[in-house]
Chain A
Amino acid sequence: MSRHGAAEPAPSGRERDEWKDVTRKPRRVKVVLADRAGSRRLVRNAAPTIEPNSAGETLVRELVRSQLRMALGLAAVAVVLLAGLPAFFQLMPEVANGTVFGVRVPWLLLGFVAYPVLVGVGLLHNRLAERNERDFVDMLDR
């Protein structure tokens, strides 16, 4: 499958020469990462649709925007949950002094509960991100 741009030389304006001297050495063993065909499903005819400055690119922009919105939203949830705690402890001292199973509430929240919450937000992100991407691929495939 022809990948656009893959064979294009870098723009001539860039100073890459110095670099070549640095890295082009006889000793280097080139690791060719080619045998990954089985590991992923290539969607037919997708690449040509997404040429730069095409309708396809608008779709990609859309995808990036929705992924960013989702990531920012989840980050906001995590930050509010965590960064809200110090203020919460200060405003509600009776909660901060309470105990559950003989352990002080702040210790329980920060020492234990915080971690499953972080994992949960991460899990949610992965689900949503993968779904966004699947929708995108389905749309192109249609």
Chain B
Amino acid sequence: MGLNVWALGGIAAVAVLTFGLGVWGSRRARTTSDFLVAGRGVSARMNAAAISGEYLSAASFLGVAGLVLKDGVDALWYPVGFTAGYLALLLFVAAPLRRSGAYTLPDFAEARLGSVRLRRLATGFVVVVGWLYLVPQLQGAGLTLATITELKPWVGAVLVAVVVVLNVVFGGMRAVTLVQAFQYWLKFTAIALPAFLLFLVFVSDRGAGQRALGEPLPPVFTQQTTVDIETDVTLQVAEPVMLQAKGEIGGQPVDGSVYWGRGQHDVSEDTRLTFPAGASAPSVVGAPADNAAWINPLGADKSLLHIYSLIFATFLGTMGLPHVLVRFYTNPNGSAARETTLYVLILLGLFYLFPTILGALSRLYVPQLLVTGKTDAAVLLLPTAMLDNWLGKGLAALTAAGAFAAFLSTSSGLVMSVAGVLSTDVLPGRVRDFRLATLIAGIAPLAAALAGATLDLSQSVGLAFATAASTFCPLLVLGIWWRGLTAPGAAAGIIVGGGLAVAATVTTMLVATAGGWVEPLLAQPAAITVPAAFVTMFVVSKLTRRRIPRDVSRTMLRMHAPDPLGFSQDREGQVGALADSNLPGEGRHRA
């Protein structure tokens, strides 16, 4: 590890390039017609790259490989779910939502159901989901900088929060389609090239004391490895191991040789463990202890219920993420929205092939991460662990730059979305308020990131998905396909589903383990909360049938009539009260 100048250089290059492209892009889009061209003249492919660029967060770039390293094949449900979410969005939401002309989720709620109070509630949950998604991004930023520079994790989180807030406030990183599309290809290169080259290295240097990944034995250290434990952990040992330790094990101070038999061992923080070459690597409890359990489905402590709940959350949660929906507005019409979403599926599928490869290689080359539990750093450390030369350093710089691009783009998109709804729906909506809103949107999750417990990136992002799936998914799906939805019904569903999901999230973040059958549901509550939200919305809407909006037929017509009929209207284009009431503040800041 140590100070890695190469990696810092890569990160700086990404920041400068992104900022520069943003400034250049927003200078081009000054006049109304430029604004139009930027918004509408974008091809489906470019739009899809932009959507993917904003969507692929630290959880995808770092988290997936980390989970693969730790949990094995069961972790592959995360990227599959992250992608499948766009299929659900394509099947149920994309074209009708584009035709509705709504720009944000609160906007859709009000346009469809005509209730200002529902709009406020939706605004509240946009902020909640946005913050839930931001916290792991900032924690990931802290981890990345801590891994490559030995700074304390909070420094990185603060640094990225400041960079993002400044970027958004001064408009350097406007969500210009060009910038986000660039971010996709940057991240793709930063994951695909290392994965490809390191795979070649792996194929050419078999042997060297490595263990095949299918054997019922734990991974081994290929060379003498020193591991610093920074937070208290319980390690499980599958194969007896001799090691040097200095610090505190099992409550007893130690300094010297230690023999660990099979079983669990508590290690206190600030303990230094040195494993000789060829020693078996212990792993934190909860992860599969040996390679056979790792390579087989359901080998980890994961129950079937947890996996199904996760599929549910990611499949249905994507459509409710605040920064995803806005991008669909730049499609010229409903058919283009469908085409764009299909390209997004292709681009995401392409990207997710590579974290899996890196995660599997990490099991062979950086097993020390299993001891500290900081598996999210796998992508960052693998290149130098496999190649101790300039190429390894170059690839490490590339992955660090890609990781930085990942949380920069996603955080900026989220901060922008949250600040947009805060400034129009909560504050009076002047430009000054947008800046204040940006500050609030950035600082609140930063505080949570510093104070809250650190879960695995993909896991805590999964909780944000669960909250989105239990609030906005039923609102969108029922709102688009069912005439009978009423404002009270929608509000009740959002409160029940969102309330339960947030309660489970807070419990998971504060309390480490509950145990029993409750635990998988607390860690991934969607299996309960999403059906609860749907049922509540349906039942309460049935009970308040008189509140069905009078213009429901017209709204349905606008959303579902084919594009050539010309019913789809952009909400700013309309005359009268609708046009004046629904131009969200974000429109001034985003193209």
Contact = CB atoms under 8 A, between A and B. Distances in A.
B28 interface: no
A22 B106 CA distance: 15
A31 B84 contact: no
Contacts of B580: 16, 19-20, 23-24
A11 B80 contact: no
Interface of B: 32, 35-36, 39-40, 73, 76-77, 80, 83-84, 86-88, 90-92, 95, 114, 116, 214, 295-298, 304, 307-308, 311, 315, 332-333, 335, 338-339, 341-342, 345-346, 348-350, 352-353, 356, 360, 424-425, 428-431, 481, 550-551, 553-554, 556-557, 560-567, 569-570, 572-578, 580-583, 585, 587-588
B289 to A, nearest CB: 18
A121 B431 CA distance: 44
Task: Determine which residue in B35, B39, B578 has the highest number of CB atoms from chain A within 10 A of its CB, and name it.
Answer: B578
Given A36-B332, A75-B91, A122-B90, A111 B557 contact: no
B67 to A, nearest CB: 12
Contacts of B567: 3, 47, 50
A137 B481 contact: no
Q: Is the interface of B mostly helix, strand, loop or mixed?
A: helix
A6 B88 contact: no
B311 A82 contact: yes
Contact of B295 (A14, A20, A107): A107
A90 B339 contact: no
A47 B554 CA distance: 11
B340 to A, nearest CB: 11
Contact of A137 (B296, B353, B564, B588): B564
Contacts of A5: 551, 554
Contacts of B353: 111-112, 115
Contacts of A129: 95, 338
Contact of A119 (B298, B338, B342, B551): B342
Given A23-B581, A31-B587, A130 B335 contact: yes
A33 B76 contact: no
Nearest to B73: A106
Contacts of B424: 22-23
B212 to A, nearest CB: 10
Given A52-B554, A115-B353, A83 B308 contact: yes
A111 B524 CA distance: 22
A10 B566 contact: no
Given A31-B32, A83-B308, A90-B304, A19 B116 contact: yes
Given A83-B311, A119-B342, A122-B87, A20 B566 contact: no
A57 B32 CA distance: 37
Contacts of B315: 79
Interface string A109-142: 0111011101101110110011001101100100
A100 to B, nearest CB: 14
B32 A97 contact: no
Contact of A64 (B295, B550, B556): B556
B564 A42 contact: yes
A82 B84 CA distance: 9
Interface SS, A side = helix
A61 B91 CA distance: 18
A86 B510 CA distance: 30
Contact of A136 (B87, B562, B573, B585): B562
A133 B311 contact: no
B351 to A, nearest CB: 10
Contacts of B576: 7-10
A31 B572 contact: yes
Interface of A: 1, 3-11, 14-16, 18-20, 22-25, 27-36, 39-43, 46-47, 50, 52-53, 57, 60-61, 63-64, 67-68, 71, 74-75, 78-79, 82-83, 85-87, 89-90, 96-97, 104, 106-107, 110-112, 114-116, 118-119, 121-123, 125-126, 129-130, 133-134, 136-137, 140
B581 A46 contact: no
Contact of B557 (A8, A14, A50): A50
B560 A63 contact: yes
A136 B346 CA distance: 29
22 contacts: A1-B566, A6-B569, A10-B581, A11-B551, A27-B430, A32-B573, A39-B332, A47-B566, A50-B561, A50-B565, A53-B553, A57-B557, A68-B481, A78-B84, A83-B311, A90-B297, A110-B80, A111-B356, A115-B345, A118-B86, A122-B345, A126-B339
A3 to B, nearest CB: 7
A89 to B, nearest CB: 4
A6 B560 contact: no
B550 A11 contact: yes
Nearest to B91: A71
A40 B566 contact: yes
Contacts of A123: 342
A6 B349 contact: no
Contacts of A134: 562
Q: Which of A14, A23, A30, A42 has the largest count of B CB atoms less than 10 A from its CB?
A: A23
Contacts of A30: 572, 583
A57 B194 CA distance: 56
A87 B305 CA distance: 11
A119 to B, nearest CB: 5
B297 A106 contact: yes
A33 B561 CA distance: 19
B214 A43 contact: no
Contacts of B349: 115-116, 118-119
B566 A3 contact: yes
A61 B552 CA distance: 12
Contacts of B583: 23, 28, 30
Contacts of A110: 73, 76-77, 80
Nearest to A1: B566
B73 A118 contact: no
B296 A20 contact: no
A90 B298 contact: yes
